[in-house]
Chains A and B, each alone.
Chain A
């Protein structure tokens, strides 16, 4: 096996994509999970179902709709093209948007579970001690939900690493731009380059196993266990 001939670009793009996606997911996932955990609306099951949808939907279906929306004629892609000169499909930004939808449940679910387990009681205690709602969120709810955060970040990251269908639909496989690891592996297999496919697959397998292992270890060690 010739490691020197390995193209590192897909690996780098994959890591970049996963990192950016997790950051975006935290920014939008935290408020969504917080809201879900504390809302009193009767329609909560509807929102829970929407958030869980990417779990069961075939990635190609999700990718298909995103392609249409983000493409040059889509209701997001078109205005973006008019402003920036290019649509979102087949770009890195497009990939991030697609991955955000795709990995949303993996970030929202652990956070939502954690916030729900904590409940309102400790927050009320914090308010009576002079903490504003924002303050109490950061100094009480978030540290108590630390396990939820760790799980969310790692699952979101790991899940984005392995995405294939959605990326293929929305991003194509433009080398150096949108070609991620899973697609690279697929291409290698198609061209019967099994040795590189092996190398990349084994690498991805060990890497994802390793981070999951770290997470489960960290979670055992974390001081706060909300039950």
Chain B
């Protein structure tokens, strides 16, 4: 598999970017973290817009930077696409002029086929002769994305492409992202500080804080790692599950989801049976009971579970993180006092009560 190997050490105004990593060039990789954590700087180093002294960067078998050997490929010779947060469309060109700007500068075959394909994917057919100033924020972002894709990049870098848009526009553009991913199969590095976007799109996640990569792995792994709470923000620590929609319950206005053998009830969503829905269960929203009290609780979602381990919370002295097994790990956060009174032990079978379930697109 193709890898991106990078080693950057770059002193910036507020912090130092210090990264040494290997990332598979595949699917959606999100760089997640608070602002000022070095995500954008990392992208800029990859693109060559920033040059880290003594830096090293290899994409697959191409070395783009190796300062020890004096190698630094300038940005315009790197096969990358870059989508900026502020879009940066050229105001003096039409949409088509913007789209063709990069296309003209790379020696590509079948440019017309590529052009119509991307224009179609991004739904820009009717915008071509317009000027960027006459487009809405979401439309501009689609043009910026199409413009980057038209250079046939080996790697697409996206720097908070949705940050400037409101929630409604974000929802409008996300399907284009998904289509792009499934149709074009270009590896994407995506910078964001909004979990909303992450959960809908992402396979792999790099968690950054203060210029360093503090965790890397699948979204499920990173979010369910209790020690990462101080980097993530505690409310995000929890479990991500890929569920399937079973049916709509019209009588109670609920949507029924399935994950392995478990059934979840959530407030009714606009989805169809068979759809995949990624849900997020915060550790704080899971409570534990030693006996089954079905029909004696208002909580809808009760799952049998087995305790894998308990460990004191890193941040909160009165809390304990409990890792449960429900066919996959489920994270719960309870007080030490409860742990003591219930006398919970690893290996014990208990019931997990899930007070709230959030959909991927309900974050922010």
Whether a CB of chain B sits under 8 angstroms from the CB of A175 is no
* Choice from B47, B81, B86, B131 contacting A121 with Cβ under 8 Å: B86
Does A7 count as interface, using CB distance less than 8 angstroms?
A: no
**Bound complex: CA A131 to CA B104 (Å):** 10
The 8 A CB mask of B46-67 against A (1 = contact, 0 = none) is 0101000000000000000000
- Minimum distance in angstroms from B104 CB to a CB of chain A: 8
Nearest residue, chain B, Cβ from A223: B92
A128 with B90: CB separation less than 8 A: no
Residues of chain A within 8 A (CB-CB) of B76 are: 127-133, 135
Which of these, B49, B92, B101, contacts A129 with CB under 8 Å?
Answer: B101
Q: How far, in angstroms, from A121 to B84 measured CA to CA in the complex?
A: 9
**Which residues in B have their C-beta under 8 angstroms from that of A214?**
none
Question: Are B105 and A135 neighbours in the complex by a CB distance under 8 Å?
Answer: yes
Interface assignment of A122: CB less than 8 Å from any CB of chain B: yes
Q: What are the residues of chain B within 8 A of A139 when measuring CB–CB?
A: 101
Task: Kindly supply a per-residue 1/0 record for chain B positions 65-81, scoring 1 wherever the CB is within 8 Å of any chain A CB and 0 otherwise.
Answer: 00000000011110011
What 1/0 flags go to A121-153 for Cβ under 8 Å of B?
A: 110111111111101000110011010000000
Question: Is A61 positioned at the interface, with any CB of B under 8 Å from its CB?
Answer: no
Judged by a CB distance under 8 angstroms, whether A226 is at the interface is yes
Q: Does A224 contact B (CB under 8 A)?
A: yes
Contacts of B74 in A (CB 8 A): 127, 132
How many residue-residue contacts, CB under 8 A, span A and B? 66
Contact with A along B81-99 (1 / 0, CB 8 A): 1101010111110000000
Cα-based distance from A139 to B101 in the complex (angstroms)? 9
Determine which residue in B75, B89, B147 has the highest number of CB atoms from chain A within 10 A of its CB, and name it: B75
User: In angstroms, how far is the closest chain B Cβ from the Cβ of A69?
Assistant: 41
Which A residues touch B92, using CB under 8 A?
Answer: 140, 143-144, 146, 223-224
CB neighbours (8 Å) of B330 from chain A are none
Provided the pairs A127-B76, A128-B80, A130-B76 are in contact, do residues A122 and B90 lie with their beta carbons within 8 angstroms?
yes
A33 to B309, CA, bound (A): 66
User: How far is A132 from B105 in the complex, measured between Cα atoms in Å?
Assistant: 10
B131: A residues at CB distance < 8 A: 223
Which residue on chain A has the smallest CB distance to residue B104? A130
0/1 string, B104-125, CB within 8 A of A gives 1:
0110000000000000000000
B98 to nearest A CB, angstroms? 9
CA distance A112 to B92 in the complex (A): 19
Residues of A within 8 A of B137 (CB): none
Within the assembled complex, what's the spacing in Å between the Cα atoms of A197 and B81? 64
Indicate if the CB atoms of B90 and A125 lie closer than 8 Å: yes
Q: Is B151 an interface residue (CB 8 A)?
A: yes
B81 / chain A contacts, CB cutoff of 8 Å: 128
- Contacting pair B106 A125 (CB below 8 A): no
In the bound complex, do residue A128 and residue B47 qualify as a contact, i.e. CB atoms below 8 Å apart?
Answer: yes
A121, B106: Cβ atoms under 8 Å? no
CA distance A122 to B82 in the complex (A): 12
Q: What is the minimal beta-carbon distance from A121 to any residue of chain B, in angstroms?
A: 5
Pairwise interchain contact A131-B49, C-beta atoms closer than 8 A:
no
B102 interfacial contact with A, CB 8 Å:
yes
- Name the contact of A128 in the complex, choosing from B82, B86, B89, B91 (C-beta under 8 A): B82
B195 within 8 A of A: no
Contact with A along B215-240 (1 / 0, CB 8 A): 00000000000000000000000000
A129-B91 contact, Cβ under 8 Å, with A121-B86, A124-B49, A223-B131: no
Q: Is the CB of A131 within 8 A of B84?
A: no
B148 adjacent to chain A (CB < 8 Å): yes
Q: Which residues of B contact A223 (CB under 8 A)?
A: 91-92, 131
Chain B residues with CB under 8 A of A224: 91-92
Is the pair B88, A127 in contact by a Cβ cutoff of 8 Å? Answer: no
A124 adjacent to B88 (CB under 8 Å): yes
The complex places the Cα of A223 from the Cα of B97 at a distance, in Å, of: 14
Say which residue of B88, B102, B105, B106 sits within 8 Å of A122 (CB atoms). B88
B320 to chain A, nearest CB (A): 48
A130 contacts B91, CB within 8 Å? no
Closest to A226 in B: B91
In the complex with contacts A135-B105, A144-B92, A223-B131, A129-B147 CB distance below 8 A: yes
Report the separation of the CA atoms of residues A146 and B90 in the bound assembly, to the nearest whole angstrom: 13
The docked-state distance in angstroms from the alpha carbon of A132 to that of B90 is 16
| A131-B86 contact, Cβ under 8 Å, with A143-B92, A144-B91 | no
Chain A hits for B105, CB < 8 A: 129-131, 135
Check A140 against B75 for contact (C-beta < 8 Å).
no
Minimum distance in angstroms from A135 CB to a CB of chain B: 7
- B87 and chain A: residue at smallest CB distance: A125
Contact pattern, A 210-225, Cβ under 8 Å of B = 1, otherwise 0: 0000000000000111
Please name the residue on chain A nearest to B93 by beta carbon: A143
- Contacts A/B (CB < 8 Å), 12 sampled: A121-B88, A122-B88, A124-B88, A127-B76, A128-B80, A129-B148, A130-B77, A132-B74, A135-B76, A144-B90, A146-B92, A223-B91
Sample of 16 more A-B contacts, CB < 8 Å, known A125-B82, A128-B75: A121-B86, A122-B88, A124-B82, A124-B88, A126-B90, A127-B74, A128-B148, A130-B76, A130-B105, A130-B151, A131-B105, A132-B74, A133-B76, A135-B76, A135-B105, A224-B91
Give the B-binding residues of A (Cβ under 8 A). Answer: 121-122, 124-133, 135, 139-140, 143-144, 146, 223-226
User: Which 8 pairs across A and B sit closest by C-beta, in order of nearness?
Assistant: A129-B102, A130-B105, A128-B82, A125-B88, A127-B75, A143-B92, A224-B92, A127-B76
